[in-house]
Amino acid sequence: MKAAGIHIVFILRRCRPRVMEALLRQGLSDLADSELRFGARTDGQSQLLGLEMADAQESSYLALRIMKSLAGDYLTLPMEQAPRKFWEMLFPLPWRPDVESNARQRGLDPFLMAGLIRQESEFNPQAVSRAKAYGLTQIRPATGRQFARKAGVPKFTTRILSQPAANLKIGSSILRSMLDQQGGKLEQTLAAYNAGPERVVQWMSWNTYREPAEFVESIPFTETRDYVQAVLRNAEMYRRLYQ
């Protein structure tokens, strides 16, 4: 019985990447996550398993999801202790020319744009939030329609927000507008992108903040506070990897 059990685990190890790929392709992400966790427990080499399975994916966002599930507390890992491919899968940059050209056209840091997209959609162009925000930069249709023409997208539809080229044009235009509204203050802009400009106006009225970090720590919404810190952290990682 023991030998049979070992044999079954060996078969699972060999087949798991194909099983995972099939589950993800069918949209069965919950089952895929369970398979990942089972593989990590039985194989005992979760990071290596993550790299193998992530490398087999056709899309960056599926690879990223796998890596985040299996790479453990990768944020505490010094960059030099893992291969570059490990970090590129955790911080992918698909559509890099469009990300960079739209950011620079609007005077934005392209690495900040990449960090924001990673936090918003994990680079899934088909992502739809519970609030019905769409695409890479998670744009609501009403906001998208408001900015589309100015951003160079004359014929706006909700469906077009799932097209990376159009989404990046509109999303970078929205971010530029918010940055201008917040007087160029990055932390406030990111808080506004996540929670809405009206809430940031309210929070700023509560106190006089001497440092950006002081404002971030005062944000009453944990989700927004974590979001601002995560986007800034992402941007720095992208800068170190791709600059």
Give the separation between CA 32 and CA 35, rounded to whole angstroms.
5
Give the separation between CA 114 and CA 94, rounded to whole angstroms.
9
Q: Can you name the residues that pair with 139 across neighbouring β-strands?
A: 134
* Nearest C-alpha neighbor of 174 from the set 123, 212, 128, 134: 134
3-state SS of the chain: helix, strand, coil percent to 5?
70, 0, 25
**What residues are annotated to the active site?**
120
Place of tokens 């089972």: 38
Q: Can you name the residues that pair with 134 across neighbouring β-strands?
A: 128, 139
Extract long-range pairs of 65-69: CB within 8 Å, 24+ residues apart: 65/29, 65/122, 66/20, 66/36, 69/33, 69/36, 69/37
Residues 6 or more apart from 197 whose CB is under 8 A from it? Answer: 178, 181, 182
